[in-house]
Structure 1
Amino acid sequence: MGHTRLDTAGIRAARQVIDPVFLGTPLYRCEALEPALGCAVSVKLETANPVRSFKGRGTEVIASLLADNGSRAAVCASAGNLGQALAWSGRGRGLDITVVASRFATRTKLDRIRALGARLELVDGDHELARERAAAVARHDGIRLVEDSLDIETCEGAATIGLELVDTAPQFDTVLIALGGGALATGVGHVLKELAPDVEVICVQPLGAPALTLSWRARRVVTTDLTDTIADGVAGRYPVPAVLDDLLLVADDAVLVQEASIIAGMRLLLDHAGLVVEPSAALGIAAILEDRDRFAGRHVVTIVCGGNVDMDAYRRWTAPAPGP
């Protein structure tokens, strides 16, 4: 493997400043899923924490550094999960946090950001417009702009999941990782390629939000004009060049899945694993559903990365299909 922006020693150091509430998340084989998927499946559950997503690992690293440096405030753009996580980590360290989000973001996520004490600013546009506004706020107020996936701390935090996968010494041979901005994929991918190089790293993105997958395939940044997916947590249009460079080094494949498969994955995780997940967290299961032959006979780990979902929409998605 070539050199990514990450360093395994730095990832181990990052683990020391992350609140233990985000660490050591469950990893278990879920045999109840296997008849429907045709392969051995283990679940790495990143929803069992105060912000119900893996993002708290990265924001803990950032907030710790900010507090140590005497900073008092930070701003980020978020579809919801990063904002919650930064609000949680900042609150515990006395930081003033501003989150910029689309007013069309999942209401449950926006409500939790407010409840955690952050100032929430909404924009009339998608996540990319929120990113532009957050950058403007940072410049005007002279505060730290937290940029998911570009800021190496977000990747280091996510990479601690990879350390936990390797430390368990399981017999899995494939890891399926939701691909959005790229922090999770590049962080976990770096660790696996360095410490467990025989494990295949497959990134999964919705067909309706394919920018980083298209970029990985083309080996150059490819942008898209819009996104059209229920998986709001991974719906970016402008990949970060430095993140793509890392992804090209650690990902063995990047696949796109259809919305129907994402919904089917959510239903399977509910019915057979008792897990309420947001669409992004079902991408790994969707990938297996769309290519059972590829995964037959393998032991696959899927990272269930978030569980912040609008329950009204979730009930519609997971409702049993009407009878004839």
Structure 2
Amino acid sequence: MQTRLDLARIQAARPLIDPIFLDTPLYRCEALEPALGCAVSIKLETANPVRSFKGRGTEVVAGGLAGQAAVCASAGNLGQALAWSARGRGLDVTVVASRYATPAKLARIRALGARLELVDGDHELARERAAAIARHDGIRLVEDSLDVETCEGAATIGLELVGTPFDAVLIALGGGALATGVGHVVKTLASGTEVICVQPLGAPAMTRSWHERRVVTTDTTDTIADGVAGRRPIPEVLADLLQVADDAVLVRESSIIAGMRLLFEHAGLVVEPSAALGIAALLEDPGRFAGKHVVTIVCGGNADPAAFRRWVA
């Protein structure tokens, strides 16, 4: 299996990552099962200082910066994670984000000490601005999913999954770091487990690209799942995804909201929309998963409080 990722590097990444991000809870959530019609286990990536899986990758990135300043574009979670990893190492970090990003995420980026620049546009415009800053200032541009460290940091989740037999793992699909990272490990060490990526109908670029085996871009996105709302897939990441994913599916907004509600009511979890994509996939195609044991990665918990209350009410 030829991808940019390397199992030996992934295994070597674990000691580079603050233990606070590692060995996150993995448990069967029987309370969810009557509503979903299959055995469901949760891999909980929200119980850490940045409330998402992104800290695994930014720890690997920051460990290699050697005092160098850095800039990234972020919908919120990567920015928080990079700010956290940089603060502990005394590094200067700038985060570029859309001014329409989730306010709670922006507030945490500031609180963690990063310089925050807002743009009047979506995440793709933030990516362009971050690249311009890196060129102008001569600093490191951290590009989520394109930088293999972000994928291999996320892939350490896969190392923690493969000791338990599952029929399928459901992974939120955005830029692709989580899906390619976990997918690489699962397909290397537990090849019989299906790797199924899940994306909103309102942000389908990477899923369409996977199905057509070429980069497909979209002009806009329309989803509450801001963490996966990219419009321009990265060719190198798509190439990796094509090697490790068994399927990529799209789900409706109503199913994402229903998934958030189920996780709150039956698992006591406050999650952002991207983290409910796996549950949404189970709701939309119960026959596919009937009688199987699946694991879904609950990848982030940085929901806007007011919006969350509206969604789960």
Q: TM-score range by the shorter chain?
A: over 0.9
The DSSP-based 3-state class of the residue aligned with 1:229 is coil
**Which deviations, in whole Å up to 9, do the C-alpha atoms of 1:171-219 show, x marking residues without a partner?**
3110000000000000000000000000000000000000000000000
- 2:171 pairs with 1:177: yes
Task: Give the aligned partner of residue 6 of structure 1.
Answer: 5
The SS at the match of 1:58 is helix
Q: Distance in 1 between matches of 2:194 and 2:226?
A: 26
Per-residue CA deviation, residues 78-106 of structure 1 (Å, 9 max, x unaligned), is 00000000000000001001000000000
Q: Which residue of 1 aligns with 2:127?
A: 131
Task: Tell me the residue number matched to 2:290.
Answer: 296
Considering only aligned residues, what root-mean-square deviation do their CA atoms show, in Å?
A: 0.5
Deviations 1:265-318 (A, max 9, x none): 000000000000000000000000000000000000000000001000000000
- 1:145-184 map, 5 Å: 145-166=141-162, 169-184=163-178
Q: Determine the C-alpha separation between the residues in 2 that align with 1:210 and 1:119.
A: 31
What secondary structure, in the 3-state scheme, does the structure 2 residue paired with 1:66 have?
A: coil
1:229 is the counterpart of 2:228: no
Equivalent residue for 2:210? 216
1:214 alignment partner, SS class? helix
Three-state SS of the structure 2 residue aligned to 1:3 is coil
Give the Cα–Cα distance (whole angstroms) in 1 for the partners of residues 290 and 196 of structure 2. Answer: 15
Q: How many residues are treated as equivalent by the alignment?
A: 313
Supply the AA of the counterpart residue of 1:147.
E
Gap runs ≥5 in structure 2: none
Structure 2 counterpart of 1:188, which letter?
A: V
What CA distance in whole angstroms lies between the structure 1 residues aligned with 2:118 and 2:29?
39
User: Sequence identity of aligned pairs in percent?
Assistant: 83
Q: 2:81 aligns with which of 67, 78, 85?
A: 85
* Superposition deviation, residue 226 in structure 1: 0.2
Distance 2:64 2:275 in 1: 29
Instruction: Supply the AA of the counterpart residue of 1:222.
Output: V
User: SS of 1:36's equivalent?
Assistant: helix
TM-aligned CA deviation for residue 47 of structure 1: 0.1
Q: Distance in 1 between matches of 2:238 and 2:209?
A: 7
Partner of 2:64, secondary structure, is: helix
Could you tell me how far apart the structure 1 residues matched to 2:75 and 2:165 are? 35
Q: SS in structure 1 opposite 2:196? A: strand
Cα distance in 1 for partners of 2:290, 2:201 equals 23
Instruction: Give the equivalent residue in structure 2 for 1:27.
Output: 26
- Provide the rounded CA distance (Å) in 2 between the counterparts of 1:234 and 1:216: 15
Aligned residue number for residue 54 of structure 1: 53
